Structure 1
Amino acid sequence: MTKCLLSLALSLYGVAAACQGAYHVAKIPANLKKDAIAVVRNEEQFFDIKNLGAGQFEYKIAITILNKAGDDFAEMNEVYDKFSNIYSIKATLYDASGKKVKDYRSSEIKDQSLLSDFSIFDDNRVKRLKFVSVNYPYTIEYSYKQDFKGLLYFPSWRDFKGYNVSVEKSSYTIQKDKNYQLRYLTSKGLKTDSVTADDKVQYKWASANKPALVYEPLATGIDKISSWVKASPDQFEYDGSTGNFNNWKSFGAWIYDLNKGGEKLPDATKQLVQNLIKDAKTPKEKIRALYNHLQQNTRYVSVQLGIGGFRPILAEKVAQVNYGDCKALSNYMKALLSEAGIKSNLIVIGNDMPSLNREYSSMGQANHMILCVPLTNDTTFLECTSQYKPMGFIGNSNSDRDVLMITEDGGKIVHTPVYTAKDNYQIRKTKIDLNEDGTGLLKLESVYGNAQFEDNFDNTLLEPVTLRKRIIEGSPIPVNELINIKYTQPDKSLPVLTEELSFKTNKLLTKGGDKLFLVVNQINRKEHVPLKVEDRKTYFSVPFSYNDEDEIIYTLPTGYKVEFIPQDVTITSEFGTYTAKFAAKDNTIVYTRTQIMSNQKYPPAKYNDYVDFIKKIYQADKQKAVLAKTL
């Protein structure tokens, strides 16, 4: 009887297991559900390099969406252009048990242009499908094939799709002829399996059982803890162009050849250049005159058509239509300078991306182009897409990185300007006249430099109503009545912005018995301390180095004197320095505060030390003075 019952139980277990689909949520290991909004159940990438100019990509992915927060990952968005095509698309929705709910028809998959708001010409299109389920969890699965005509780059791979997304299985395989030359770069410690069969070589990479990553404050990205592969051809063919990517010099030579003959200007534009520079006495003055002309008479639009995604529009064309993308406008500026007898070089750069890898050249490490004017003892970089940036200021997202200078001898790695804490300054002077009821009248003057200029500049472009709302809502001091707002850029050639504010405040003083209490730092203080993170995974950094200097002068209410002011404070660490000084004289309190921060990237183990540093600043910023009535 016992044997019969055991046999029946095993039989029923087998039936139940058979009823569970491959994507049953119960099959997800518990460690992959922790902190996860979605789980990559299986991802397979296979790239077959057919020859120098052709390849086939096969892709398949299944993702289980655990809750509503994961719905953004229930999408297919696959991009192609006239040099590739996507076909054999299959898409399926499964319920929590892994049971098929729906196969999507081809008519439900949208095929649309990827045209952006700032792009008027773009070859890119997208195959798009949004999976929808009202019940959670659910699983989406899709696959497709894509043929490439022209190989400037290969599909890349990374196991993590984002924060709070764990990985059950993910893999990438590249297949090539044994005589075909390629290069690849992998994350640290990732194993590369190489298999040779007949005349084919396969490189394989895989990742499995990776718990979800939770976003950590000030994280600089997840590349250091992801598994990833970037691969690139050496020689290539694309849209009738050939080149070699085996080093940055040859990469730059290809870009240089693409641009040959692209700097010709119409006769009328040549004459305009001569008129613009006729009174200039130095090369710098000539550059400024021509750069101002560029900013006032052209606008940025994106152009992504075949090789045009890499070759600038002719300068002659830009002169006629007065628009272009970053390549076209940089090349146009280069042509204007050439007419003025000034040599310049195009710069390939990763805007808001890491530095180029000096030892590994490839497409995909850059997304932007600017211009470099190498004068004797003075190299000037120009951001040619902005109508507002002063000459020589390229912005925080372009600064302090290795970039590629395009020369007649090929590519050359150079470094863009570094904006130090001293450069990225905020200097502020504030006067507050206090009333006995705790309210006050505030007058504030701030000066912002470089990165802080950039952060605040859009205030100058806002409509008055919008600006007033932003100021009132963003003020650290409660605004009772806003009297005046003024932003000016005193010298258009410098990245410096001034701000003037005046307003009546709500109550700043609190009363206790016959005493009044004042939090002395009312303007630029730390309002919270980040939580410590145990076993942190990611590197961290503040967005940019900066130097904040504040001075606040309080005029006391009539009939009151200072009974107590805090002691001066100095805090020093590898992350930055902080000083606060307090002084009382006659009927005033003078408070000065300086905070200098470094944007160095720090390892995860140092984060809790950073929190301790911020906590000390937070406490120092909360110190109070005590006012008492005069006899």
Structure 2
Amino acid sequence: MKNFIKILVLFCVFTHASFAQEVKLGKVSKEELKEKIYAKDSTADAAILYRNIKVSFVYVESKGFIIEREVHERIKIYNKSGFKHGTIVESLYQSNSTRESLTGLKAYTFNLVGDEIEKIKLKKSDIFKEETSKYYKKEKFTMPNLKEGSVIEYNYTVSSPFYSSFNEIILQYDIPIVQQEIKVEIPEYFSFKNMTKGYLAYDINRSSKAGSITFTNKNRSSSGYVTKTDFSSSKIDYKINVSKVQMKDVPALKEEVYVNSMNNYRAAIKYELQYVKFPNSSIENYSTTWESVVKKIYENDEFGKQLDIKKYYKENLSKVLAGKTSETEKLEAVFTHVQARMNWNNIYGYSTDEGVKKAYDLKTGNVADINLMLVSMLRAAGLNAKPVLVSTRSNGVPLFPTRYGFNYVVAVVNTNGKSIFLDATSKYNKPNMLPIRALNWAGRIVNEGGLSSSVSLLPDHKSTESVMMMASISNEGNLEGKIRRNCRDYVAYKFRINNSELAEDSYLEKLEEAYNGIEISEYSIDNKKIPNKPVVENFSFNLEDAAEILGDKMYVSPLLWFTQKENPFKTEKRDYPIDYGYPWEDKHMITIKIPEGYQVEFIPQSINVSVGDGLGNFKYSLSKTPIGLQISSSLSLNKAIINPQDYQGLKDFYTAVIEKQTEKVVLSKI
């Protein structure tokens, strides 16, 4: 894992001496408006021309220190695809009556009209607020009058009373950044740990400066009937630690295939509070170790306390467990009950939203409402159940101790010498099959009292798709036959997620298109919505022009539309792990009857090729039969995550697979 998080020197670091002066808001040039493409990346649909972020701690009397993040960005829009960068979104945290706020917004769109610069100011009607959960709201604005060639510019300030962990500072976008300056100013009373991620090189220039707080004191004195008020002031001086990052020509973060979340590899700096030490006060420790992090989470009333609330389900649980004697029977019964009763509201979190009792009554809740309830019920059934803190794939991997790295919780039961993971938020998974969103390397098991241990979340068994086909080719090169398709585990889970709510006609249209335009008839499906059984499809099909006829020869692709025609790995090198989510295997057993009057002139040689030390395997064999051809193919990847150092081997493996699968059988007239 250390190889995954080290910073690779890919780009030049620019010093203070070479950095341009600060850009002033509203002073856009004609040259910027006339620019047609970004010279260093002609594929970019937009580019950040200038970006300045300043984070500082400001003392507010009666409130204490708050964090202010000042944002100033100027963006060039090159084409219509870049219009999406004209909508800016800030996610603001709130807890009870304490909340973050966005103030001082100024935003403009600039266009070149003739030889004149047109400047259009953002209207209040273009600003929207949206409550996304109990803890977050979004404030977003869409820039007016966007055109190809527009330059947009905005600045605003986000104020936050939550200084224990301020937002990760992004250093790399999905579009290039021409120049940027990041400055963070932290009073000496706060000790933060810097955590960096990504594959860009940059320097952090550190310095310090003086700061002070002035207090106004009001004193009242009475003499007879006269009350006198005197004002005095006092000042405290302190040191401010300053960190500055200056960068030029920051490349866009390019999407790659089979990555759990590109945000895991986006260049960024995260500041995690270790402790606070004010004058004449004791040290207040925050997240310095995994033990302290998990203990704080466990002691939260919306986490640990919820595990002990049991009265609300006692009567129903007795009915659920009736006649169940083994641990496996009890586990499956409790899981099925919670999964069937509860409906996830699509809100993540390791802290309950409604609370387990209210959520149970309402039959809906967030992830913690449902899965902490599940843990409690499993314990009440006599099982050794514990919560597991998880960061979803979209949230990134918490490589360092942090409360804010987790955004999800699941259950684990130790039974019969095995650890069984459970998540009742999805209707289509089963015991020991977490939803794909939660398959993110490792989680932390939370024990009584808040002690914890790391546990791998990666599946170790292969999910399979098996296809059996009996078909025949006509003299005109048309193909007809029958198919039986069997999907197990995560392949079945993905099928159900994507297709269970589709009408059959809509699904068959999608399947026909995916299978090279075949026509499907006599379709049937078993276990479409039963999570603990494989999805089994049976249907008849026909396909015109399945074989290519040239003169007296017929050319047939043995795997037909199941042939992989393109290598998914195209780049010369790979910096990120290849993440399939789960091990998998595709199997095909195909029997093809050839037309009368034809014989098999050529069949490709069989092959058995592997990649790495047991990472994957491809077996492919063809043989003649009295009526035609027998094809057997098995392609498997045996690990959910493959290290970047194995990238070239995997790329070559896919090349060998494609070369073999695209070889054609040659039939000739007798």
Match of 1:78 in 2: 90
Match of 1:11 in 2: none
Q: Deviations over 1:167-213 (max 9, x none)?
A: 12223222222121211201364322222223211222232222445
How much does 1:404 deviate? 2.1
In structure 1, what residue type is equivalent to 2:118? V
| Equivalent of residue 585 in structure 1, options 606, 620, 625 | 625
- Structure 2 counterpart SS, 1:456: helix
**Pair 1:159–1:410, CA change in 2 (3 A):** same
How much does 1:154 deviate? 0.8
Match of 1:156 in 2: 168
- Structure 2 counterpart SS, 1:291: helix
Distance, in Å, in 2 between the alignment partners of 1:510 and 1:439 is 10
Among the aligned pairs, what percent are the same residue?
14
| Equivalent of residue 488 in structure 1, options 527, 530, 554 | 527
**Pair 1:65–1:489, CA change in 2 (3 A):** closer
Matched, 1:37 2:45: yes
| Equivalent of residue 168 in structure 1, options 178, 181, 196 | 178
The answer to whether the Cα contact below 8 Å between 1:255 and 1:406 also exists between their aligned partners in 2 is: no
**Pair 1:131–1:26, CA change in 2 (3 A):** closer
Distance, in Å, in 2 between the alignment partners of 1:376 and 1:68 is 58
Residues 6-21 of structure 1 mapped to structure 2, 5 A cutoff: 21=28
Match of 1:539 in 2: 576
The answer to whether the Cα contact below 8 Å between 1:584 and 1:590 also exists between their aligned partners in 2 is: yes
Q: Deviations over 1:518-565 (max 9, x none)?
A: 22221421123458445x564362634322121101123344443332
TM-score w.r.t. length of structure 2 = 0.80
Aligned residues: 592
How much does 1:492 deviate? 4.3
Match of 1:299 in 2: 343
How much does 1:349 deviate? 0.9
Distance, in Å, in 1 between the alignment partners of 2:41 and 2:620 is 47
Match of 2:604 in 1: 566
The answer to whether the Cα contact below 8 Å between 1:111 and 1:125 also exists between their aligned partners in 2 is: no
| Equivalent of residue 487 in structure 2, options 443, 448, 454 | 448
The answer to whether the Cα contact below 8 Å between 1:345 and 1:372 also exists between their aligned partners in 2 is: yes
In structure 1, what residue type is equivalent to 2:121? Y
Distance, in Å, in 2 between the alignment partners of 1:21 and 1:354 is 36
Matched, 1:467 2:507: yes
Structure 1 range deviating more: 257-266 or 180-189: 257-266
Distance, in Å, in 2 between the alignment partners of 1:342 and 1:381 is 13
How much does 1:417 deviate? 3.9
| Equivalent of residue 191 in structure 2, options 178, 181, 186 | 181
The answer to whether the Cα contact below 8 Å between 1:32 and 1:210 also exists between their aligned partners in 2 is: no
The answer to whether the Cα contact below 8 Å between 1:35 and 1:213 also exists between their aligned partners in 2 is: no
Match of 1:345 in 2: 386
Q: Deviations over 1:331-359 (max 9, x none)?
A: 1112212322224222221222477444x
The answer to whether the Cα contact below 8 Å between 2:260 and 2:393 also exists between their aligned partners in 1 is: no
The answer to whether the Cα contact below 8 Å between 1:313 and 1:327 also exists between their aligned partners in 2 is: no
How much does 1:452 deviate? 1.7
**Pair 1:459–1:361, CA change in 2 (3 A):** same
Distance, in Å, in 1 between the alignment partners of 2:347 and 2:147 is 42
**Pair 1:401–1:218, CA change in 2 (3 A):** closer
Distance, in Å, in 2 between the alignment partners of 1:30 and 1:516 is 50
How much does 1:286 deviate? 0.8
Matched, 1:274 2:318: yes
In structure 2, what residue type is equivalent to 1:399? L
Match of 1:386 in 2: 426
Distance, in Å, in 1 between the alignment partners of 2:140 and 2:161 is 22
The answer to whether the Cα contact below 8 Å between 1:263 and 1:316 also exists between their aligned partners in 2 is: no
Match of 1:104 in 2: 121
How much does 1:591 deviate? 0.6
Distance, in Å, in 2 between the alignment partners of 1:568 and 1:618 is 13
How much does 1:144 deviate? 1.1
Residues 174-573 of structure 1 mapped to structure 2, 5 A cutoff: 174-187=184-197, 189-198=201-210, 199-212=239-252, 214-218=254-258, 226-235=266-275, 244-258=286-300, 259-263=303-307, 265=309, 267=311, 269-302=313-346, 310-353=351-394, 356-358=397-399, 360-375=400-415, 377-399=417-439, 401-420=441-460, 423-457=462-496, 458-476=498-516, 478-488=517-527, 492-493=531-532, 496-529=534-567, 532-534=570-572, 536=573, 538-539=575-576, 541=578, 543-544=580-581, 545-573=583-611
Distance, in Å, in 2 between the alignment partners of 1:182 and 1:629 is 78
Structure 1 range deviating more: 504-513 or 171-180: 504-513
Q: Deviations over 1:600-630 (max 9, x none)?
A: 44548945x6554333322211223233455
- Structure 2 counterpart SS, 1:391: coil
Q: Deviations over 1:89-132 (max 9, x none)?
A: 111222359976335255234232143xxxxx545333322123
**Pair 1:405–1:86, CA change in 2 (3 A):** same
The answer to whether the Cα contact below 8 Å between 1:561 and 1:587 also exists between their aligned partners in 2 is: no
In structure 2, what residue type is equivalent to 1:521? L
- Structure 1 counterpart SS, 2:57: strand
The answer to whether the Cα contact below 8 Å between 2:265 and 2:576 also exists between their aligned partners in 1 is: no
Distance, in Å, in 1 between the alignment partners of 2:346 and 2:589 is 45
- Structure 2 counterpart SS, 1:461: coil
In structure 2, what residue type is equivalent to 1:453? A
Distance, in Å, in 2 between the alignment partners of 1:488 and 1:371 is 26
- Structure 1 counterpart SS, 2:154: strand
Match of 2:130 in 1: 113
The answer to whether the Cα contact below 8 Å between 1:354 and 1:401 also exists between their aligned partners in 2 is: no
Match of 2:107 in 1: 91
Distance, in Å, in 2 between the alignment partners of 1:531 and 1:262 is 46
Distance, in Å, in 2 between the alignment partners of 1:600 and 1:267 is 43
- Structure 2 counterpart SS, 1:161: coil
Matched, 1:46 2:54: yes
In structure 2, what residue type is equivalent to 1:449? R
Distance, in Å, in 2 between the alignment partners of 1:21 and 1:460 is 52
**Pair 1:134–1:185, CA change in 2 (3 A):** closer
In structure 1, what residue type is equivalent to 2:379? S
Distance, in Å, in 2 between the alignment partners of 1:370 and 1:62 is 42
Q: Deviations over 1:244-300 (max 9, x none)?
A: 222221111112111243245564620211221121111221111111111111101
Match of 2:8 in 1: none
Q: Deviations over 1:69-104 (max 9, x none)?
A: 211112222232541111111112223599763352
How much does 1:379 deviate? 1.2
In structure 2, what residue type is equivalent to 1:444? I
How much does 1:45 deviate? 1.7
| Equivalent of residue 73 in structure 2, options 55, 61, 67 | 61
| Equivalent of residue 148 in structure 2, options 136, 157, 165 | 136
- Structure 1 counterpart SS, 2:306: coil
